[in-house]
Structure 1
């Protein structure tokens, strides 16, 4: 999990600990505090990691960009999902034909795109990609190329 996800989860667990202390010293607030503690623990352990995975899939995985196999892909289809990352970057569903030195294979990904760049993308355009070394279905478009 990314650092900001760990920080948010840690803060939620800290707040849960505060509510545990409150439930010990304020008997009238015990049940409400217990419910809040349970909710915070579930969110810290499950919700925050899920959000980190969701948003990292939209922005492109930095690990794959740094260490992935260099390749190229032809855009077969692209369709905006209606979602935006940071209220600015549209999330686009790409159908790609990926080639990393062998035979081309189809992959579908979702990734955030700069709106100005999106205007220049159409089916048939070739883009640079990075492919995960262990799972060739994990592909990130490398906008630097």
Structure 2
């Protein structure tokens, strides 16, 4: 009798779990109110770091990014986190072409699980780290003086 009760309890528990999971799958994702997102279009970066290209379709994650600019504007330092749907190889090829087109010289490129690209330009250094994840590609850009 105890094993029958145990089996019935398991069946009921599994039924509730299946119903709960399937109900969650039908729910609409919750969108944050406008202006309160931690992610935004990187349009602001094109004016502050105009010499650093941003792949189309990538968004800036402000919660993980940092930008410092001196009062005179002589010193600009940035750590920018971007996320997008483009594949890792496409992003790497984009930066190989666009950084040179923007006047940067390639110092080194290291590829393994992640790709680290180092560029220099007129007193500045730029390190670009491309890291694939399950569904998106993450890019970290570090820009600052030499």
TM-score under structure 2 length normalisation: 0.24
> Is the helix fraction higher in 1 or 2?
1
Q: Report which of the two structures shows the higher radius of gyration computed on alpha carbons.
A: 2
TM-score under structure 1 length normalisation: 0.24
Greater RCO (CA < 8 Å, at least 6 residues apart): 1
